[in-house]
């Protein structure tokens, strides 16, 4: 245990690290609250899960499309003005969504407000990752920083939905959504006071290409793997809910997701303390390959209860894979694309989760839960194979003979 504890003790003793972690955890909490709160509020206001899901989907699509634009603006002008603008527009758009749905429930009005809110989502998650890149040079401290970041995201996605669930139990969906909107406004104020912003570096006059980091072939490979990995997240979320419902224990769907998140947090914490000498691409590929096996193992579970250990072990591999992936992006992206590269990663993440959710729903409807788990496992396995190509490219670049 000491071998795991000591690196973290040293890491958190570094200047401003504790404060940066605290500020990012608090400021990212609304990200984990919003989709659940919005869905439940719109279900009540519009009277349909289908319409509510359509609006939430539009919110995420707008977020995915706008993220790279925000990233380029941040790389060009720094984080302050984009934060201030989105910190005003997004809460106002969400407030308009709430008021219009309460006074004159209409799908088209809700869609307009949701699209504006999604396009102006505050880029705090992306900025947090970029801050760690600026705070630490490539090395053990940066790896640990991204591991801590992955664990803190799991903490956010445990606390956020739990808070919304508590508000739904004690109050109603309007109170829950209103609270999420309030947290969204406060998040920007919190992040603007983070000591991490003093480490920010940007190159406003650096030469940039129209396609930005998309001109870098190795980054494309990482983004495609990113899509495959997060596709499986969407598959797991729907498949757990479906498997639990079919077993007559709907609440077990949430329990499986919670166990998966706990496993991810544990895996991320252990990975951050390790000093692995293998290339990042190999670490990433190994985590993806093992994760594919564990997702496939869900197909063999004789009952919903046997999915619990599979969910835990699968979770142990998620945060290490995401951390290695983040490290590769931070290494491959040049300084003028530091933030934009992470926003493109976010676009592939949101797209992967969304498409994975849709595909899993269709497969479950037509062929059953096992087919959905199989699709998730195959997609991750394809990402593991693609990581071998990434390693080959990295070795070619490093070999002077090439």
pLDDT tens digits, 368-386: 889 989 999 999 999 888 8
User: CB neighbours of 359 closer than 8 A, spacing ≥ 6?
Assistant: 231, 234, 235, 372, 375
CA angle 356, 362, 364 (to 5 degrees): 95
Task: For residues 138 and 132, give the distance between their C-alpha atoms in angstroms, rounded to a whole number.
Answer: 10
Do 1-202 and 211-402 come out as alike in CATH topology?
yes
Please tell me the distance from the alpha carbon of residue 264 to that of residue 54, in angstroms, as a whole number: 29
Report the pLDDT value the prediction gives residue 285, as an integer from 0 to 100: 87
Given a cut of 50, the residues of the chain with pLDDT beneath it are 397-402
Convert the pLDDT of each residue in 251-296 to its tens digit: 677 778 778 888 888 888 888 777 777 887 888 889 999 999 999 9
Give yes or no for a contact between 373 and 294, defined as CB atoms under 8 angstroms apart: no
Entry pTM: 0.73
- Predicted confidence at residue 402, as pLDDT, reads 39
pLDDT value for 96: 95
The residues spanned by each domain of the chain are: 1-202, 211-402
pLDDT, residue 21, reads 87
The contacts of residue 360 (CB under 8 Å, 6+ apart) are: 234, 235, 237, 238, 239, 242, 372, 375, 376
CA 397/CA 185 separation, integer angstroms: 45
CATH level 3 topology of 211-402: Growth Hormone; Chain: A; (1.20.1250)
Mean pLDDT, the chain, whole residue set: 82
Q: How far apart are CA 189 and CA 371, in angstroms?
A: 45
Q: What is the pLDDT of residue 204?
A: 58
DSSP secondary structure code for residue 50 in this structure: H
Tokens of 111: 């869609």
pLDDT at residue number 397: 45
Closest to 391 in 3D by CA, of 346, 348, 328? 328
CATH of 1-202, one of 1.20.1250.20, 1.10.357.10, 3.30.365.10, 3.20.20.70: 1.20.1250.20
What 3-state class would DSSP assign to 6? helix
Q: What is the pLDDT of residue 203?
A: 64
Cα–chain-centroid distance for residue 314?
17
The whole-number pLDDT of residue 251 equals 62
For the packed helices 217-246 and 280-297, what is the interaxial angle rounded to 10 degrees?
A: 20
Both structure tokens of 274? 């390790």
The pLDDT assigned to 91 comes to 95
């Amino acid at each position: 245990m000491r071998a795991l504890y000591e690196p973290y003790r040293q890491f958190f003793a570094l200047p401003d690290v504790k404060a940066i972690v605290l500020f990012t955890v608090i400021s990212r909490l609304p990200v984990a609250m919003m989709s659940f709160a919005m869905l439940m509020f719109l279900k009540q206001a519009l009277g349909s899960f289908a319409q509510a899901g359509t609006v939430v989907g539009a919110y995420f699509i707008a977020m995915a499309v706008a993220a790279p634009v925000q990233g380029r603006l941040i790389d060009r002008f720094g984080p302050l003005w984009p934060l201030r603008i989105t910190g005003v527009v997004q809460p106002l758009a969400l407030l308009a969504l709430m008021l219009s749905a309460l006074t004159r429930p209409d799908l088209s009005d809700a869609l307009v407000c949701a699209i504006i809110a999604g396009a102006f989502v505050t880029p705090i998650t992306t900025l947090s990752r970029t801050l760690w890149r600026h705070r630490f040079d490539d090395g053990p401290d940066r790896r640990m920083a991204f591991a801590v970041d992955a664990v803190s995201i799991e903490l956010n996605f445990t606390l956020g939905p739990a808070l919304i669930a508590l508000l739904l139990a004690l109050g109603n969906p309007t109170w829950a959504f209103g609270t999420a909107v309030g947290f969204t406004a406060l998040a920007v104020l919190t992040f603007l006071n983070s000591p991490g912003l003093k480490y920010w570096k940007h190159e406003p006059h650096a030469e940039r290409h129209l396609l930005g980091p998309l001109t870098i072939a190795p980054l494309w490979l990482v983004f495609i793997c990113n899509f495959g990995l997060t596709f499986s997240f969407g598959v797991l979320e729907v498949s757990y809910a479906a498997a639990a419902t079919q077993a007559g224990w709907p609440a077990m769907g949430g329990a499986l997701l919670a166990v998966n998140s706990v496993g991810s947090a544990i895996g991320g914490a252990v990975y951050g303390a390790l000093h692995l000498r293998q290339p990042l691409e190999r670490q990433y590929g190994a985590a993806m390959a093992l994760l594919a096996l564990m997702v496939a193992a869900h197909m063999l579970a004789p009952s919903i209860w046997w999915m619990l250990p599979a969910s835990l072990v699968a979770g142990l591999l998620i945060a290490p894979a995401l951390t290695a992936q983040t490290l590769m992006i931070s290494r491959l992206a040049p300084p003028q694309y530091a933030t934009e590269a992470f926003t493109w990663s976010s676009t592939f993440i949101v797209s992967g989760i969304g498409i994975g959710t849709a595909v899993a729903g269709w497969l479950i409807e037509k062929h059953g839960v096992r087919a959905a788990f199989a699709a998730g496992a195959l997609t991750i396995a394809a990402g593991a194979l693609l990581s071998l190509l990434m390693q080959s490219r990295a070795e070619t670049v490093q070999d002077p003979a090439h």
